[in-house]
Structure 1
Amino acid sequence: MIWALAVLAGLALWPVIREARRTPVDDVVRASAPGEFADLSLGRVHYRWLGRPRGPVAICVHGLTTPSFVWEGLVPHLERMGFRVLLYDLYGRGYSSRPEGAQTPEMFTRQLSELLAALGLDEDLTLIGYSMGGVIASRFTAAYPGRVRQLMLVAPADMGIEVSRATRIARDVPVLGDWLFHMAFPRQFRASLARQQALEVSVEDLGDRQAGELMKRGYLRAVLSSLRHSLRRPLEQAHRQIAQAGVPVLAVWGDADETVPLAGLGLLAQWNRNAHQEVIPEATHLLPATHTEALAGHISALTESLRRG
C-alpha cells in the first residue's frame, strides 16, 4: 500500500518536477534576445522593430504556441510595402514574462495597449493577427477602432478552433486537466513539429526554435491558460463592433488547415459583410511561414487599395 501511494504521489508531482527543471526566463536568458524590452504592469515584454526606419506601422501578433519569430519570413515583404514592423512576444512566450493569472483576451489587449504607450505610438496602425493573435488583434480593434487603419487576420482563431480530445479534456477539467496537459502536450507538440519538417518554410530554424519553447518555465501554463480563457468562444460581438466602426478587414485562410476550420469564413461573412476574405490552396495552419508570398500578396492588395482610396 505504501509503495502504491508513493507511485501515485510521484505521478502526481511529476509535472511539477519537470517544470522545475525547465529554464526560467531571466536576465541570463534575455541576454541572448534579439530585441529590446519594455517594463509593463504585468512584467517585461520583448519587442523588435524591423522593416523601414520610418513609415506606417504594422504590428504582428503571433499565436498560441509560436512566439514572434513566426513572422520573420513576412517582414521583408512588409518592408517592401513601406511598413515599419513591430514584433513582440505575448506573455508566456519567447522572452516575455510569465505573469500569474488567466490569459484572457482582455489581458492581451492590455499588454498591447501598454506596449504602444511605452513606445509612444499614437498613430493609426495596421494590425496583423495570426491564429490566437487574430483574437487579440480583433479584441484590440473592437476596443480601439479609431486606432486601427486596417485589420489583417491570418488563419484566425476568432471563429473557433479544432483541438484533440485530450486537449479538450485538459482545457475543460481543472486540476486533472492541468496534469494531463503537462504530461501529454510536449509529446503532441513535438510530433506536430516532426510532421512539419517536410514543409518548406520562410523562417530560419523554425522547428528547433518552436521546440525550444518547451524548455522554458511557464510556457505550458501559458498555453493551457490561453486555451481555457482566450480560445473557448467565438468573437461575434467584437466582429460586429468592428463592422459597425467600418475598419477594413482582411481574413486569409488555408484550405488544408486542420486547426482553424474553413467554416469560420462563413461565420465572419455573417458578422461583417464588408470583410474581404481569401483562401490559400494547400495551406495548413502554418501558412504565415509556408505560404508567405501568397499571404504578402493579399496584404499588399488591400493596403494598396486603401492608399488609393
Structure 2
Amino acid sequence: MVLIPGATLPLFVWEPLVEPLVRAGHRVLRYDLFGRGYSDRPKVRYGPELYERQLTELLAALGFHAPVHLVGLAFGGLLAVQYVDRNPERVRSLCLIEPDGFGTKLSLGVRLMHVPVLGEALFAVMGERQLRARLPGYSRRPELIPELEARFLPSTRIAGFGHALLSTLRHMAIHTAAPTFHRVAELRIPTLLLWGRDDRITPLHIAEEVRAALPHAEFHIIDDAGHLPHYERPDAVAPLLTEFLSKPLPTAD
C-alpha cells in the first residue's frame, strides 16, 4: 500500500494511519513528493510525468511488483487518479481523501503565482507567511496547528521548495481534472472516497462533483474533521480503510 501526501505537507501527515494498517497486515510505503519534505528538489518541470516517474521508480526500487493499493490526500489523490489512468495494471484499489482535480475558483493570489517571475517574487516575499496563514484551515482542532507548523514549515525553507510548488501550480490540473476521473471510473477499480465534514480547504460540496465522476466509489463523510480527517480522526478513518481493503478485490496483493 502506498500513501501519497498532498501538495505541501510531508509524509508525517500519515503517521496516525500507519500503525493500524501495519497491524492489519499491510506493507505500507509513505514518501515525500519531489520538492517537499526531505526529498530531492530538482529544478525541473513539476508535471504529471515527474510524479508518475517518481512513484514508478520508487515502487520498483523497493520491490513492490504486484498491483498496489493507492491512498492519496488532496493533491495526492489527484496524483493517484492520474497514476491509475496511465498505469491501470499497477493499481489494485484507490482511497481518495478529498482529492484535488475539481473546483474552486482560484484566488487572486494563486492566479498571480501562475505568472512567471512575478510568482517567484511574490513567493520569496510572502510564501512562508501565506503557508502559515493557511494551516488553521487544515483542521477544526486548533490544538493541532502548532504541531503542523513545527513539523511542516522547516522543510519549506530548504532551497527548491518554492520552485517545486510554483511549477506544480502551473503544470498540474489541480482544478480541471474531471476528464481523468471519468476515464478512471470506466476502469471500475474499487474506490473509497473520504471527506471531512468541516473541510475548509476543499469544501464538502465539491464531493458531489467527485462522486458524479466516480459513481461506483464508496463514500463516507468523517464527522468532527476538516481537511485532514485521517490525522484528526484516525479512530474513524482507519476502520473504514481497513474494512474497505479487506473486501474481495479483482487481483491479488
Fold match (TM-score > 0.5): yes
C-alpha deviation, 1:168, in angstroms = 2.6
Structure 1 CA distance for aligned equivalents of residues 193 and 100 of structure 2: 11
**Aligned pair in 2 of structure 1 residues 144, 258: CA closer, same or farther (>3 Å)?**
same
Structure 2 match to 1:247: 189
Counterparts of residues 85-164 of structure 1 (less than 5 Å): 85-161=28-104, 164=107
Structure 2 match to 1:229: 171
- 1:189 is matched by which residue type in structure 2? L
Structure 1 match to 2:180: 238
CA RMSD of aligned residues (A): 2.5
8 Å CA contact 2:198–2:223 kept in 1: the answer is yes
C-alpha deviation, 1:231, in angstroms = 4.3
C-alpha deviation, 1:75, in angstroms = 0.4
- The answer for unaligned runs of 5 or more in structure 1 is 1-57
**Aligned pair in 2 of structure 1 residues 256, 163: CA closer, same or farther (>3 Å)?**
farther
C-alpha deviation, 1:66, in angstroms = 0.7
From 235, 244, 253, give the equivalent of 1:302: 244
Residues 65-120 of structure 1, C-alpha deviations (whole Å, 9 max, x = no match): 11111111110121122111101111001221111222112210111011112223
C-alpha deviation, 1:249, in angstroms = 0.8
- 1:67 is matched by which residue type in structure 2? P
8 Å CA contact 1:167–1:181 kept in 2: the answer is no
Structure 2 CA distance for aligned equivalents of residues 90 and 302 of structure 1: 26
Structure 1 CA distance for aligned equivalents of residues 250 and 85 of structure 2: 25
SS in 1 for 2:44: coil
Structure 2 match to 1:291: 233
Give the total of aligned pairs. Answer: 250
SS in 2 for 1:306: coil
C-alpha deviation, 1:290, in angstroms = 1.0
Structure 2 CA distance for aligned equivalents of residues 211 and 226 of structure 1: 18
Do structure 1's residue 266 and structure 2's residue 208 form an aligned pair? yes
From 219, 223, 227, give the equivalent of 1:281: 223
Structure 2 CA distance for aligned equivalents of residues 67 and 231 of structure 1: 21
- More displaced 10-residue stretch of structure 1: 129-138 or 183-192: 183-192
**Aligned pair in 2 of structure 1 residues 302, 133: CA closer, same or farther (>3 Å)?**
same
**Aligned pair in 2 of structure 1 residues 175, 223: CA closer, same or farther (>3 Å)?**
same
What is the TM-score normalised by the length of structure 2?
A: 0.89
C-alpha deviation, 1:162, in angstroms = 6.1
> Taking every aligned residue pair, what percent have the same amino acid on both sides?
36
Do structure 1's residue 207 and structure 2's residue 149 form an aligned pair? yes
8 Å CA contact 1:162–1:258 kept in 2: the answer is no
Structure 2 CA distance for aligned equivalents of residues 282 and 258 of structure 1: 12
What is the TM-score normalised by the length of structure 1?
A: 0.74
**Aligned pair in 2 of structure 1 residues 308, 123: CA closer, same or farther (>3 Å)?**
closer
Greater fraction strand: 1
C-alpha deviation, 1:131, in angstroms = 0.9
Counterparts of residues 1-20 of structure 1 (less than 5 Å): none
C-alpha deviation, 1:274, in angstroms = 0.6
**Aligned pair in 2 of structure 1 residues 164, 293: CA closer, same or farther (>3 Å)?**
farther
Larger Rg: 1
Structure 1 CA distance for aligned equivalents of residues 249 and 88 of structure 2: 18
